[in-house]
Chains A and B, each alone.
Chain A
Amino acid sequence: MSSDITPPVERPKTTGLHVGEAAPGVAKTDPIIVVDGVRRTFGGLTAVNVDHLEIPRGAITALIGPNGAGKTTLFNLLTGFDRPDAGSWTFDGKSISGMPAFKVARLGQVRTFQLTKALGLLTVLENMKLGAKHQIGERFWQSLFPFFWRRQELEIEDRAVGILKKFKLDAKSEDFAASLSGGQRKLLEMARALMSEPQLVMLDEPMAGVNPALTQSLLEHILDLKDEGMTVLFVEHDMHMVRHIADWVIVMAEGRVVAEGDPITVMRNPAVIDAYLGAHQELDLGVVTGRYEAEDADPTTDALASDTVEVSDIEEEASEESK
């Protein structure tokens, strides 16, 4: 799937984001989020353990890592949907650790969810209008008298239709969101997030389960966000996509940040490759376990080494780790 799409029209990548050598926790020239000492454990399992992390403003940053690395947990912590065991972080210089999710959203940080939360029982347009901030009609006493909020409602509706047109969802504005396809719901969630005119848009696996045709358009929309001055932080698995649109990549594994840098360099980083592929990429486990002969070894591996290494060697290494 990843290479079926043609890369979007090349837009220049943002560079000069970091100060000093690109290592985990490197300082950024203009960070929008600064994370310090955040830890989150779930009954014995450390989900997140980040010493220091800075997210660059005005750029598109990708948060990658194998399953179970802690990416969504970190997302949930930063957006107030989860409480850490320890640590603090700031948004735009303001400390927001411990702030409830709705307050964080009001500060200009908006997020989408891995399992899309397009509200199926509302129409597409209602979903959009819900996203707008500072609505007079949402205050209890004012809501009883349409006189107070009718005009603002029309303005919000205009803005909503405008954004829907950009996302090519305007034809569906009166339909219940539940009747949209999975990919369309993702688009709706992103469009809805834009209604609040955020500074930082955090997307949790925006491409998951979306067909190639829609992927192209989603990528374009994410690039548009940067052009309009917003900062984007997204979690993804699709490396081709990350390579195409990310200015900066942060790699997590087992709750820690193992690497940071521009997409090309990061993906050649041995620590990163390790995290995804296992400890010994030079070994073909099929040969190590004796299932296959050395002459049939995976061409990217070292056949001789695979033949020599025993299963017990790896098991020993694993039990060493837990000490």
Chain B
Amino acid sequence: MDWIQILNNSASSIISPATLAYALAALGLAVHFGYAGLLNMGIAGFMALGAYGYAIGILTFNLPWWAAALLGLAASAVFALILGIPTLRLRGDYLAIVTIAAAEVLRLLFLTTTFDEVTGSADGLSGYHGSFRASNPIPEGTYGFGPFMYNEIGWWVRILGIIALILAAVTVWRLMSSPWGRVLKGIREDEDAVRALGKNVFSYKLTALVVGGVIAAAGGIVYALPSAVNPGVYVTSLTFFVYTALLLGGAATVFGPLVGSLIFWVLQTVLGNVLPAAVDAGLLPFMSNIQAQTLRFILVGIALMLIVIFRPQGILGNKKELTFVK
């Protein structure tokens, strides 16, 4: 087993676009679930809207990449409003069911051949990188050191991803440490108590849904920036992966989602390298190479269950502040 190669890949994944995308998605979900107590089981849908909004903006509407990105964010905000207005009065478990369904509806809309012209249906969308690459200020070449060697496009994507992540994190932090955040914290514990103090609970929950949704959409965009938009990515499993990353780090914190996503992705990469290599080296004789890859996801599922059962506050969370734990 080539440990050097495995380590290199794993280290590199720390700032891969996928990790940054997950961090953004987890941060958005932290606003929904950790801070507002909304059991949103359709975060994958928000990410899809970001990614598709971006790609369609460029390919169909011929927008420059930054305008297309804004389109993706706007689409997600509108979706949050449409979703939120009828459902936020529902009890938590009903909201979960509705959001799963909504995300699936979105995915199927992207998948159907009816809109093939715009969405690419099963093939997805690609080849939208023109204006993005054109706007790259970094001169051609390969830069970096050790495992962090990327070309100018790779760096451009990562830099923008990191900027987006920092902006989102600062916004969430500012928001939650303000009186607005205080009201949300109260709502999370007891809506009626907060209503009795004259706060419009519905408006706060809806705002949280929009803010979280926009951040998650940014994650979808970052994910799609360097590669392609594939409908097969935005399935319900994606939502559960994001939950795993979020709960691992700490649901009601700003750094929790970032730390959680980091660990999640690095581990994924490590396992993604180690397991097939172990199979090749004969250490796992009962498995094939491809099965080893799938094993990764099984382990994620188990990890999610273990976290929820034994340490729901995650690494950085405070058990005393959790409302979803008795």
| Chain B residue contacts of A106, Cβ below 8 A | 198
| Chain B residue contacts of A219, Cβ below 8 A | none
Kindly provide the distance from the CB of B197 to the nearest chain A CB, expressed in whole angstroms. Answer: 5
Contact A129 B196 (CB under 8 A): no
Question: Which one, A117, A138, A149, contacts B193 given CB within 8 A?
Answer: A117
Question: Which one, A121, A144, A192, contacts B178 given CB within 8 A?
Answer: A144
Contact B186 A119 (CB under 8 A): yes
Question: Which one, A120, A138, A176, contacts B179 given CB within 8 A?
Answer: A138
Given A120-B189, A144-B178 in contact, is the A196-B323 Cβ separation under 8 Å?
no
A146 at the interface (CB under 8 A from B): yes
Question: Which one, B174, B185, B198, contacts A122 given CB within 8 A?
Answer: B185
Which residues from 85 to 124 on chain A have a C-beta closer than 8 Å to any C-beta of chain B? 100-103, 105-106, 110-113, 117-122
| Chain A residue contacts of B190, Cβ below 8 A | 117, 119
Among B45-53, B61-69, B199-207, B277-285, which stretch is in contact with chain A? B199-207
| Chain A residue contacts of B207, Cβ below 8 A | 140
B93 at the interface (CB under 8 A from A): no
A199 at the interface (CB under 8 A from B): no
How far does the alpha carbon of A139 sit from the alpha carbon of B207 in the complex, in Å?
11
Question: Which one, A102, A122, A153, A178, contacts B199 given CB within 8 A?
Answer: A102
Which residues from 139 to 156 on chain A have a C-beta closer than 8 Å to any C-beta of chain B? 139-140, 143-146, 149, 153
Given A117-B190, A126-B182, A144-B178 in contact, is the A138-B197 Cβ separation under 8 Å?
no
Question: Which one, A111, A122, A146, contacts B196 given CB within 8 A?
Answer: A111
Contact A144 B175 (CB under 8 A): yes
Among B178, B192, B321, the most chain A Cβ lie within 10 Å of the Cβ of B178
Contact B192 A135 (CB under 8 A): no
A167 at the interface (CB under 8 A from B): no
Contact B182 A117 (CB under 8 A): no
- In the complex formed, the residue of B with least CB distance to A179 is B320
Kindly provide the distance from the CB of B176 to the nearest chain A CB, expressed in whole angstroms. Answer: 9
- In the complex formed, the residue of A with least CB distance to B188 is A121
Contact A122 B186 (CB under 8 A): yes
- In the complex formed, the residue of A with least CB distance to B201 is A102
Kindly provide the distance from the CB of B118 to the nearest chain A CB, expressed in whole angstroms. Answer: 33
How far does the alpha carbon of A140 sit from the alpha carbon of B207 in the complex, in Å?
8
Contact A144 B179 (CB under 8 A): no
Given A121-B321, A121-B323, A149-B179 in contact, is the A113-B186 Cβ separation under 8 Å?
no
Contact B186 A102 (CB under 8 A): no
- In the complex formed, the residue of A with least CB distance to B187 is A119
Contact B178 A137 (CB under 8 A): yes
A131 at the interface (CB under 8 A from B): yes
Question: Which one, B180, B185, B196, B201, contacts A138 given CB within 8 A?
Answer: B180
Contact B174 A105 (CB under 8 A): no
Summed over the interface, the residue pairs from A and B with CB atoms below 8 Å come to a total of: 97
| Chain B residue contacts of A110, Cβ below 8 A | 196-198
Contact A133 B198 (CB under 8 A): yes
A306 at the interface (CB under 8 A from B): no
B267 at the interface (CB under 8 A from A): no
Kindly provide the distance from the CB of A185 to the nearest chain B CB, expressed in whole angstroms. Answer: 11
| Chain A residue contacts of B182, Cβ below 8 A | 122, 126, 129-130, 138
B289 at the interface (CB under 8 A from A): no
Contact B196 A79 (CB under 8 A): yes
Contact A117 B196 (CB under 8 A): yes
B288 at the interface (CB under 8 A from A): no
Contact A102 B200 (CB under 8 A): yes
| Chain B residue contacts of A138, Cβ below 8 A | 178-180, 182-183, 199
Contact B180 A143 (CB under 8 A): yes
Contact A196 B178 (CB under 8 A): no
| Chain A residue contacts of B185, Cβ below 8 A | 119, 121-122, 126
- In the complex formed, the residue of B with least CB distance to A134 is B198
Contact B193 A113 (CB under 8 A): yes
| Chain B residue contacts of A129, Cβ below 8 A | 179, 182
| Chain A residue contacts of B181, Cβ below 8 A | 143
How far does the alpha carbon of A79 sit from the alpha carbon of B195 in the complex, in Å?
10
Which residues from 272 to 326 on chain B have a C-beta closer than 8 Å to any C-beta of chain A? 320-321, 323
How far does the alpha carbon of A103 sit from the alpha carbon of B196 in the complex, in Å?
9
| Chain B residue contacts of A102, Cβ below 8 A | 195-201
| Chain A residue contacts of B180, Cβ below 8 A | 137-140, 143
B131 at the interface (CB under 8 A from A): no
Kindly provide the distance from the CB of A250 to the nearest chain B CB, expressed in whole angstroms. Answer: 22
| Chain A residue contacts of B323, Cβ below 8 A | 121
> Chain B residues in contact with chain A, CB under 8 A?
171, 174-175, 178-183, 185-186, 188-190, 192-201, 207, 320-321, 323
Show 5 residue pairs from A and B whose CB-CB distance is below 8 angstroms, ordered by the A residue.
Answer: A101-B192, A101-B196, A121-B189, A131-B197, A196-B197
Which 9 A-B residue pairings sit nearest by Cβ, starting from the closest? A137-B179, A143-B180, A117-B193, A143-B178, A105-B198, A106-B198, A101-B195, A138-B179, A102-B195
Starting from the known contacts A113-B193, A143-B174, A143-B180, 7 additional A-B residue pairs (CB-CB under 8 Å) come to: A102-B196, A118-B193, A119-B190, A119-B193, A130-B194, A138-B180, A143-B175
